[in-house]
Amino acid sequence: MTTNKMTNAGLPRRTVLTGMAAAGAAALMPRRILAQEKITLRWWSPQSSPEQMAAYRTQIANFEAAQPNIKVVFEKTSDEGYAPQLAAAFASGDVPNVVTHLPSFAVSNYWRNGLLEPFNDVIEMIGPEKFYDGVNRIYEIDKGQYAGTSIGNSSANVIWLRKDLMEKAGIEANPRTWDELLSACSKMQGGGIYGAPLPYGRNSMTSLIFIGVIHQAGGMVFSPDLEVAIDSQETRDALEFYKAMREYCPPGATNYSWGDSLTAFVSGACATGVYTGRVLVNVNNQNPAIADHITCDTYPTKSRDIAPWTFNDFPSVFIPKQASNMEATKQFAAFLYDPEGYIQQLHAAPGHVLPVLKTIAQDPDYLNDPIIEKYRAEVDLMSEAAANGFNLGWESPEHQPNTRAGEVVNSGVIAEMVQRVVLNDENVDVVLGETASRIEDIMGA
């Protein structure tokens, strides 16, 4: 890797935050960039809640204070719409400098198409030793070259549970298998409360959640050598389970995406949920009456001999190759991990995006958050699950990186398969055959 040290003698630093416990927690400080004219860096992200925006303002203000000749502008993208937005930017050459919070499989696709700047310099600026072991493995698509890195981990398909409703229904243990989940939903549904807010819309949530369900059946979308493997008995079992769950989901679930599913559990309309740790802060802010009655666990599998499979989209940071002012861009990307701003960003929705730096996860300022303190067991469970998680770009330790995973997800073919079989009751053999052929076409394009 090319080394660009952040700690050369005589370079400006911010005062190290008080209370930093680990030796590696010193604030990152960019080398002063000399320029005759003021330059502007553009930062894109689909994550832009008010709390996150406050953290971004801190990060931008601290960086601009160290670099008076640089202005950073934040621009919001969309979870469902980032693909066409970035495609247009790449086509025109009018690209942002830094993009954050997109899933790793999107980064792999852009790297394969030669659209990204290698991220090695930025990882060196941050300090490779600060990352959790193996956290950057998913971005090493070409040996020795990193397409990006993670801004955090996420445990996107844990099951959320209402302990009060479980107790009322006589359910003594968290459901571990699909049969146990179906039974629990049946017992808890009623009185205006549904069992689950699973998505059935033609969107990315349905695709991504159902990829997890396939693995929870013991199957896979691709074989380790990236042959299409979706036409299997395991996928048939997954579709049968998903169809059985439909009667325990609200009528509107036919169009559910991420926000709808989250709201359905947070509002109290569903006894279980499927989402990241954003549930924690939303429940406490929007429905505190149930705040003492929620917990989470890994999502049930078809049988107890099938291990849980956690979907981690590995929210990313990457730099388009066409970005202007590359030196400043790399320094800003590294500065996103400066403890003050990074911890504030993680605290914007505690448990939603989990730290990828060991130095931050051990930092008292990170741990000293009311939500993290109250739900430490849940945050620890999600952290462990996410650290061992996967996604379509990397389905297991045996799998090769799949640089076309983003195209498969964005095509909607998996969500469409769910709708055709579960909602329209089409012949499963026909649908699976056609789905496999369509995925093969995408892989061969």
Residue 345 to residue 355: CA distance in whole angstroms: 10
Question: If you average pLDDT over residues 371-388, what whole number do you get?
Answer: 92
Residue 129 to residue 310: CA distance in whole angstroms: 25
Using the predicted structure, report yes or no on whether residue 11 has a pLDDT greater than 50.
no
Q: For residues 201 and 255, is the Cβ–Cβ distance under 8 A?
A: yes
For the chain, what percent of residues have pLDDT higher than 70?
92
Q: Which two tokens stand for residue 416?
A: 């469409």
Residue 201 to residue 333: CA distance in whole angstroms: 35
pLDDT tens digits, one per residue of 233-249:
999 999 999 999 999 99
Using the predicted structure, report yes or no on whether residue 6 has a pLDDT greater than 60.
no
Question: If you average pLDDT over residues 215-236, what whole number do you get?
Answer: 98
Residue 14 to residue 4: CA distance in whole angstroms: 18
pLDDT tens digits, one per residue of 281-320:
999 999 999 999 999 999 999 999 999 999 998 899 999 9
Q: For residues 183 and 260, is the Cβ–Cβ distance under 8 A?
A: no
Residue 113: CB atoms within 10 A of its CB come to: 11
C-alpha distances (whole Å) from 73 to each of 63, 93, 95, 407 are: 12, 18, 13, 29
Using the predicted structure, report yes or no on whether residue 327 has a pLDDT greater than 50.
yes
Backbone angles phi, psi at 42, to 5 degrees: -110, 130
Using the predicted structure, report yes or no on whether residue 115 has a pLDDT greater than 70.
yes
pLDDT tens digits, one per residue of 353-362:
899 998 998 8
- Residue 12's pLDDT band (cuts 50, 70, 90): very low
Residue 286's pLDDT is 97
Q: Which two tokens stand for residue 163?
A: 């302990």
- Domain ranges for the chain: 23-154+313-387, 158-309+412-444
Q: Kindly report whether the global pTM for this prediction surpasses the value 0.75.
A: yes
Residue 160's pLDDT is 98
The span from the first CA to the last CA of the chain, in angstroms, equals 32
H or E segment at 165? helix 163-168
Residue 296 to residue 280: CA distance in whole angstroms: 10
pLDDT tens digits, one per residue of 20-72:
333 333 446 666 665 557 999 999 999 888 999 999 999 999 999 999 999 99
Question: If you average pLDDT over residues 115-139, what whole number do you get?
Answer: 93
Q: Among 166, 182, 343, 33, which Cα is nearest to 174's?
A: 166
Backbone angles phi, psi at 110, to 5 degrees: -65, -35
Q: Which two tokens stand for residue 196?
A: 């689950």
Asked if the 158-309+412-444 domain carries CATH number 3.30.70.20, the reply is no
Choose between 172 and 1: higher pLDDT. Answer: 172
Residue 48's pLDDT is 87
- Residue 262's pLDDT band (cuts 50, 70, 90): very high
Q: Which two tokens stand for residue 422?
A: 């579960």
Distance of CA 5 to the CA centre of its chain: 29
Residue 83's pLDDT is 87
Using the predicted structure, report yes or no on whether residue 136 has a pLDDT greater than 90.
no
DSSP 193: B
- Residue 1's pLDDT band (cuts 50, 70, 90): very low
Choose between 268 and 79: higher pLDDT. Answer: 268
- Asked if 23-154+313-387 and 158-309+412-444 have one fold, the answer is yes
Least confident of 103-107, 117-121, 202-206, 322-326: 103-107
- Residue 127's pLDDT band (cuts 50, 70, 90): very high
C-alpha distances (whole Å) from 259 to each of 12, 80, 284, 304, 416 are: 43, 11, 17, 31, 20
Report domain 23-154+313-387's class.
alpha beta
Q: What is the mean pLDDT of the chain?
A: 91
Using the predicted structure, report yes or no on whether residue 348 has a pLDDT greater than 50.
yes
Tell the burial category of 335 from Cβ atoms under 10 Å away from its Cβ (0-12, 13-18, 19+).
buried
Backbone angles phi, psi at 277, to 5 degrees: -70, 0
Least confident of 16-30, 216-230, 381-395, 399-413: 16-30
- Length of the chain as a residue count: 445
Question: If you average pLDDT over residues 371-385, what whole number do you get?
Answer: 93
Q: For residues 200 and 422, is the Cβ–Cβ distance under 8 A?
A: yes
H or E segment at 127? none
Q: Which two tokens stand for residue 139?
A: 């971005």
Judging by DSSP bridges, how do beta strands 39-45 and 98-100 pair with one another?
parallel
